Structure 1
Amino acid sequence: MVTGAGGGIGRDIALSAAAQGAKVVVNDIGASLSGDGLDAGPAQQVVDEIRAAGGEAVASTDSVSEPHTAQQIVTAALDTFGRIDGIVNNAGILRDRFFHKMSDQEWDAVIRVHLYGGYYVSRAAAPHFKAQESGAYVHMTSTSGLIGNYGQANYSAAKLGIAALSKSIALDMQKFNVRSNCIAPFAWSRMTGSVPAETPEEKQRVERFKQMTPAKIAPLAVTLMSDASKVNGQIFAVRNNEIILMSQPRPVRSVHRSEGWTPETVLEHALPALEASFFDLERSGDVFCWDPV
């Protein structure tokens, strides 16, 4: 089951999974990038492509953003194919705005689709995975959340939350042989079409993005859903032909004072001692600054 599979990354994952023999639920409400409008066409078009190539697929146009409709997506898999074995939580929208200008509605809409949607869909499948003692989740996170980006407080918060959700699922369900991993995809799609391209540096970054097609993400996503993969609780990035294992937060450095701390000693001792290990205020493009290969 692939959400947001009517185009871009989700479409290529659905096509690749079907080519490997999977029976696929292609889920997409057919909305615009901002979440407006509904159209059953995109999901059905991908289903038609899969069937034309000899595969099996069914379309779902239910939203991930409400628990009862997320349940209906899982039900579509059960009713059509009799079971569910893998889920790619890929559905998403953007409402980019600088934090100090962001409206409550812009915050809520993005959190609801990405983070709530990932939870609702995952939770709906969990009893079936538990009962059959198998299953795999692949969640789409983003370096906007893992590292940072301008004008995306809503998206970044949701995507970092997804990484934590995935880790919690991996921990809670490992005893049932259920796995959960994340991918931070670099690919030119509707979701990256709003990347700023005003300065020469930004324009150069966009040109690098355009080299990275959605099809590059599919091999890792399909592999992580496969029974042949035993990987669990990891965060990957895919950047053109690179597969990157991302770090997860761990202690970097510590200071200790046997008598405890006061605001004065924190200022005089702790912060200066830790300062050499502080992280720079970076955005995704500062860290991934080399050309894709």
Structure 2
Amino acid sequence: MKKSPKSSNFVGKIPTIAPCPILLARQDGKVIYVNASGDLRKIDPVAGVFVWTWNGGRIRALALSKYHDLLFVVHSVEDNQVAVFDVNTQEIVHELVFDQPLRDIAVSEDGRRVYGLGFGVVYELDVGTNMVVKSYGVGGVPNGIALKPSAAELYIGKDQAVQVLNINDGTLRSYGVGGSVKRIAFSGDGRYAFCAIDGRLVEGVGGLARLDTTTGNIDAVKFGQRPTFVALTSDSSTVFVSDERSNKIYEVDAGSLQVRREFDSLLEPAGLAVAPDTGFVYSGSGLYGGVLVLDPNSASANR
């Protein structure tokens, strides 16, 4: 693969005191939520300050409802509880409990269902009643889960494959992508699923796979060592991928899958989000107490 040019255009660091391996941004890019050693922190990225903190004991995953009125937080020592916050009042409106630890969660577009990813199983829980209404066996040890926009399909990252679970009839289909899938992000229309590929199982080389959710066709590009998180710009033309081993963030053309640029990041970049209004990219860190702010459109990007 042709070596991509390095760029340096980080415009700031937002201190979080503790490492924040989980990061989530609201769709308008005006609020960031991070996990900082068990504390859930709400950050104003423009001012670079905390505006709210909640101690969850231990936080495993975060998710927002489609209209960003509810925030779902997997917490507790057992990783089996989900606190549901009203994002306007910061009050807990539901406290959900699952039967086993969760590795990740996805939320239905109306916020009434939570899909909890356990060890070899996906639980569908009704938020209003706090009752599991269905469970689906998926086998193995899955890594992450994502709900396809405007569809009744869950995409599950696993070693060597992406599983697709139809939540209407419970059927499963699988697509081999040549590596361990960590996180999945969709294009705005749901046509493509972009999968971060960890290279530990494929000669130490990671990359990005693009799965056409309509035809099942897969295209891929190799780069980095352990790509983990993936995020798209609002127009779905550009994909950003963080690599926790090489400590870089890669900018990839969503159409050609060409790596345009690579950016040095904080140690073990974790969590990734793109603000639609400014185009800024936010990345947490598994070792450093801060959130990195990257402006890909900066005139000083290339050096």
Whether TM-score is above 0.5 comes out as: no
**Scaled by the length of structure 1, what TM-score is found?**
0.30
**Scaled by the length of structure 2, what TM-score is found?**
0.29
Which protein has the larger Cα radius of gyration, Structure 1 or Structure 2?
1
